[in-house]
Structure 1
Amino acid sequence: MKLTIQLFAGIAERLNTSQLFFEFDGDTPTASILKEQLSAAYPEAASQIRSSFLAVNQMYAPADTILRAEDELALIPPVSGGDGSSSPEYNKQDSPQTQEHRTEDGLFLITDAALSVEATTKLVITANHGATLTFVGTTREMTGDQRTIFLEYEAYVPMALSQMSAIGAEISERWPGVQTAISHRIGKVDVEEISVIIAVSSPHRSDCYDASRYAIEKLKQTVPIWKKEVWEDGSEWKGHQLGPWNPMN
């Protein structure tokens, strides 16, 4: 069975491609067996492949998921960063046009243009909500003794938007009435520039605080967006920093 697999972040750099055309060896293709075969076929990226999750049709797939040739497959390294590897040989071509992708309800945005705190916050302000809280994430210059020149973000856009929308739905279920909007930057983000905005509103302020914290932590766990730190003397995709990564928990 011939399978097409999308690659991102450090795995794409290590293998110098954003797409693999792979001949599956066997009669019952599952997510776990495919990862085993990919690890054997590409030993230079085996550790990254093993720590990744397979997405099937833009959903994280359990290990026993049966794969079909027509499925949209993507190998997802730990999100909120990549897999900790980099290669100077892999370079993406910058798009001459602004990329902007938004969910149908307008609440969730991925773009390579500068983000607007006012525009994102305006999406959640309503007449019956007395509290609005906006979280803004920016590029930090110094991490210990390491000086960051800029960050570079990459996203599996359709799945990222779907996961962001799911976060909004989870928040609405946990805190009824809370409205959520998330905007995330991709591409190059310089020091002090905004990479992410999360705006929440509710009738009362306590729910705003709780929902905002939940949104950023969930985004860093499940949304397929990766961050590369670029320094004066090198670069590195930053992986999940909270131990073993499982976006399905």
Structure 2
Amino acid sequence: MKLNIQLFAGIAERLGTSLIEYEYDVAEPTAALLKEKLAESYPELASQIRTSFLAVNQQYAPADTIISAQDEIALIPPVSGGDGTEDRKSEQGASSTKQSTPDGRYQITTSPLSVEATTNLVITANHGAALTFVGTTREMTGEQRTVHLEYEAYVPMALAQMAAIGDEISERWPGVLCAISHRIGQVDVAEISVVIAVSSPHRSDCYDASRYAIERLKQTVPIWKKEIWEDGSEWKGHQLGPWNPMQQQ
């Protein structure tokens, strides 16, 4: 069985490709078996592969998920959004692009972000509180100077995961609205990489929902950042212990 597997971030960079054709000699393997076979096939990346998750049809796949040749498969290394497929062309200097969910409240773009535009997506007549979180590129981390960041996304899945965060917020805090805008490509020092806006009838729900959205974004949304320094670079992944995007907060 021939499988096409999309790759991202450090794994794609080390293999020099964003897509591999992988021959699997067992019909309909599980996600766990496929990931282990990939680790054996690419021993130089085994540790990275084993800490990654498989996505099947743009959803994180439990270990026992049965995979078929028709599935859309991606290997998702630990994510880092907030602190792409065809969009990689635009990251390399092509014209700007923007993709969003049908309701427009969740978007990924190569263009500079507008705090006001994202916040306006959650302002309503019946909500008396709105809170906006803005993430920017920090220049100094200890003694290390960042020149700029480069963001990459698995765009369709990232949008779906953003919308899922909004749904989770609506369930936990009924009536709260959420909007998220994330930039990909090069983001210079002091420029905005992410805007998260929430609104609610009362301010206490805004604070709780905003923090929840930020933490979930960094846990589940397939966006990666590469720190570019004066003397090197590094892909940054989840840094809060073992990464499990399927674990609920």
TM-score class, shorter: over 0.9
The TM-score with structure 2 as length reference comes to 0.94
More divergent stretch after superposition (93-102 vs 105-114): 93-102
Under a length normalisation based on structure 1, what TM-score does the superposition of the two structures give? 0.94
Q: CA deviation digits over 1:66-123, x for unaligned, max 9? A: 0000000000000016xxxxxxxxx997242111000000000100100000000000
Contact 1:100 1:110 in 2 (8 A): yes
Cα distance in 2 for residues equivalent to 1:69 and 1:99: 30
Take 2:162 and 2:27, find their aligned partners in 1: how far apart are those partners? Answer: 35
Secondary structure, in 3 states, of the residue corresponding to 2:152? strand
Could you tell me the percent identity over the aligned residues? 76
The match for 1:86 is none
Alignment partners' CA distance in 1, 2:103 and 2:28:
39
| CA–CA separation in structure 1 for the residues paired with 2:167 and 2:69 | 31
| Structure 1 spans left out of the alignment, 5+ residues | 82-90
Residues 5 and 20, structure 1, Cα contact 8 Å, conserved in 2: yes
Separation in structure 1 between the aligned mates of residue 206 and residue 240 of structure 2, nearest angstrom: 24
Aligned to 2:209: 211
Q: Which runs of 5+ in 2 are unaligned?
A: 82-88
What RMSD in Å do the two structures reach over aligned CA positions? 1.2
Q: Which amino acid in 2 is paired with 1:62?
A: P
Deviation of 1:36 after TM superposition, in Å, equals: 1.0
Is the contact made by 1:38 and 1:49 (CA closer than 8 Å) also made in structure 2?
A: yes
Partner SS for 2:124: coil
1:41 aligns with 2:41: yes
Counterpart in the other structure of 1:71: 71
Match of 2:94 in 1: 96
Equivalent-residue separation in structure 2 for 1:44 and 1:123 (angstroms): 45
Shift of 1:28: 4.1
Whether 1:117 and 2:123 are equivalent positions in the alignment is no
Give me the whole-angstrom Cα distance separating, in 1, the residues matched to 2:209 and 2:228.
Answer: 31
2-structure distance, mates of 1:43, 1:169: 39
Q: Give the structure 2 partner of residue 248 of structure 1.
A: 246
Deviation at 1:172, TM superposition (A): 0.7
Q: 1:227 is matched with which residue?
A: 225
Q: How far apart in 2 are the matches of 1:125 and 1:189?
A: 27
Distance 1:126 1:2 in 2: 50
- The answer to whether the 8 A contact 1:58-1:159 is kept is yes
Helix, strand or coil for the counterpart of 2:216? helix
Deviations along 1:113-167, one digit per CA (max 9) or x if unpaired, are 0000000000000000000000000000000110000000000000000000000
Matches within 5 A, 1:128-139: 128-139=126-137
Please name the residue that 1:6 is paired with: 6
In 1, Cα distance between equivalents of 2:169 and 2:91:
37
State the 4+ residue runs in structure 1 displaced beyond 4 angstroms: none
Residues 177-217 of structure 1: per-residue CA shift (max 9 Å, x gap): 00000000000000000000000000000000000000000
1:28-51 deviations in Å (ceiling 9; x for gaps): 411111111111111111111111
1:27 is displaced (CA, Å) by 3.5
2: CA distance, partners of 1:55 / 1:36: 15
The CA deviation at 1:25 is 2.2
| 2: CA distance, partners of 1:224 / 1:176 | 26
72-81 or 102-111: bigger deviation: 72-81
